[in-house]
Structure 1
Amino acid sequence: MSALSRLPRPALLAGVCTLVLALVGSGLWILTRVDPASPGPSADSGPEPENTGRTQVRVMLAGDSMTHGSDGDRTWRFHLWNHLQPHVEGLDFVGPFTSPATPEQIIPPELTGGEPDDGDPDEVDYRDPDFDQDHNARWGRTLADAVTTIEDDVRTHRPDVLCAMIGLNDLLFPISAEEMEQLLRDYVGGAREANPEIRILLAHALPIARADEDEGFALRVYAYNEMLRTVAEDMSTERSPVVSFDLGRAEDWSVASDTYDGTHPTDSGELKIAAGFADALSREFGLGPAYPRPLPSST
């Protein structure tokens, strides 16, 4: 999300937000095995697969700032990894990125009169780095942007499962339901072009504070979530299931207590997102167990 900025809590850049607004059991169904007798890669066949000869379950977590996180966050990716890893043999989070967002990614310098800069990922870190940090999320990413890279991302990193929570940034500005539907269909279709058997889990957009003050935005979010459910049902196939789920309703999401700025998750919010995805992965794809309940009150 780009709705509000987060540098080390409490928010460091108050007031700049207006600029930013501009498998069953151990997953046997999805194991990827490399035949030891198969020939090696040719010169033009792309990079050699990682961990050749090892059984793996490759999961790509994709989205915007709610998934990317920033300096000092654990992120919900941390909680999902530590929940699944003891239960899923060969679990591997994959994606083109590893770091949380740098300050320059949260507030691009060109918005404040500086020179464009991607920042230095070495200057940021997670609160607890003990997890597989690979991901495919970017601060401020829109579905319109993600559509342009998803096919290459899936082809390069070869996920068996794509977990995405994306689209809210597109809705910050007027966009028609027809445009959003086409973007979502193109996103799913792009992932399938690279892996015709990919399994896709799509989370509904979470409530954020802006909906309380912007009726048009609130209506766009409602329409998007309804459309997301319909598109998932329509595009789902036996070979490549597509499932949507209402994360906010499932986890009783509270903007007041589960976000620190009306948008981005607090510790409790990160835990709820991880638990929601864990439950859906277990229920829909048989990947790992459901998240233990009740959730701890603090992390």
Structure 2
Amino acid sequence: MLRFMPVGDSMTIGSAGEHTWRYRLWRHLCATYDGPFSLVGPRETLHDKATDTPTSYAYAEPDFPRAHLAGWGEGWIHMTPLIGGAVRETRADVLLVSLGLIDLGFYTNAEQTDENVRKFVAEARRARPRVRMVLLPVIPNIRAETEAAFGAQVTLFNDLLAKTAADLDEPGSPILLASPPPSYDFHRDTYDGTHPNANGEHKIAGAFAEAMYQGWGVAGPYAAGTD
């Protein structure tokens, strides 16, 4: 059994009524991975915008392994203290991590955020020495376009993340840096300039899928649908 843990912020947890990229990736793995697998994590819910709480189970398609470690408004700074326990509890084999926008927007600069990435990796490995990780760079949102200083921090962090992924990559616990979806456009692939719509969900799922296929030979190439 190969256990994948999605780790992320609001773009990963999703909100009531959505499929989420987690569902899109699960569908892809069902179609292309030859072996047992599951999505794991200590949480299952979506974010309920009406109550501003992570309490919704109103998935557009609820019949899939909904487990994850993601939260609305959470970043590397929040997940680093949690990742060790989550990995030990679930025995996760592969972490699929999409974090950073919240950190840079509200908590830490690019260099500080990169330090939290390093702490996150160390904690995950302490819990499970052979854990594998796929790290997705921050996908710029509308704020990165309208605020030059914030956009510069996103660019700098993504440069630092690439160097950190290369520095920390180990044969026994490999780290892949996923390529940002090349055609991702927040004008078309989000519903509010940040959070993915169906197109965006497919492109994020595809970024993780392509990284694992090209880097490790896991599953197959991603074929996005519109479901």
Relative to the length of structure 2, the TM-score reads: 0.94
1:246 aligns with 2:179: yes
Is 2:13–2:46's contact at 8 Å kept on the other side of the alignment? yes
Partner residue, 2:93? 160
Provide the residue aligned with 1:233 in structure 2: 166
- Matched residue, 1:141: 74
The answer to whether the 8 A contact 2:190-2:197 is kept is yes
Instruction: Measure how far apart 1:66 and its partner are.
Output: 0.5
SS at match of 1:101: strand
The residue that corresponds to 2:222 in the other structure is: 291
Indicate conservation of the 8 Å contact 2:98/2:137, yes or no: yes
Counterpart of 1:190 in structure 2 is 123
Name the stretch that deviates more: 168-177 or 92-101: 168-177
Alignment of 1:160-179 (within 5 A): 160-173=93-106, 175-179=108-112
- CA drift of 1:176 comes to 3.2
Matches within 5 A, 1:1-299: 56-86=1-31, 87-103=33-49, 107=52, 118=53, 120-121=55-56, 124-173=57-106, 175-249=108-182, 252-292=183-223, 295-296=224-225, 298-299=226-227
Residues 223 and 103 from structure 1, CA distance in 2 versus in 1: closer, same or farther, beyond 3 angstroms? same
More strand by share: 2
- Native 8 Å contact 2:47 2:55 kept in 1: no
Q: Conserved in 1, the CA contact under 8 Å of 2:39 and 2:65?
A: yes
Counterpart-to-counterpart distance in 2, 1:119 and 1:59: 21
Offset of residue 138 of structure 1: 0.7
Whole-angstrom distance in 1 between the partners of 2:12 and 2:114: 22
Taking structure 1 as reference, are residues 220 and 94 closer, same or farther at Cα in structure 2, changes over 3 Å only? same
CA distance in 2, matches of 1:238, 1:61: 22
- State the aligned residue count: 226
Q: Indicate the SS of the match to 2:47.
A: coil
As a proportion of its length, which structure holds more helix?
Answer: 2
Aligned residue for 1:246, secondary structure, equals coil
SS of the residue 2:162 aligns to: helix
* Alpha-carbon distance in structure 2 between the residues aligned to 1:78 and 1:141: 20
Decide whether aligned partners of structure 1 residues 88 and 101 sit closer, same or farther in structure 2, where only a CA change above 3 A counts.
farther
* Secondary structure class of the residue paired with 1:247: coil
Measured in 1, the distance between the counterparts of 2:94 and 2:10 equals 20
Kept in 2, the 8 Å contact 1:75–1:270? The answer is yes
Per-residue deviation, residues 73-92 of structure 1 (Å, max 9, x unmatched): 00011111011024231111
Range moving further from structure 2, 85-94 or 192-201: 85-94
Alpha-carbon deviations, 1:189-248, whole Å to 9, x = none?
110000110111000101200112111110110011000000000000100111112223
**Which 4+ residue blocks in structure 1 deviate beyond 6 angstroms?**
none
TM-score by length of 1: 0.72
How far apart in 2 are the matches of 1:221 and 1:248?
16
Structure 1: gaps of 5 or more residues: 1-55, 108-117
Cα distance, 1:283 vs. partner? 1.2
Aligned partner of 1:5 in structure 2 is none
* Runs of at least 5 residues in structure 2 that lack an aligned partner in the other structure: none
Q: Is the 8 A contact 1:204 1:248 kept in 2?
A: no
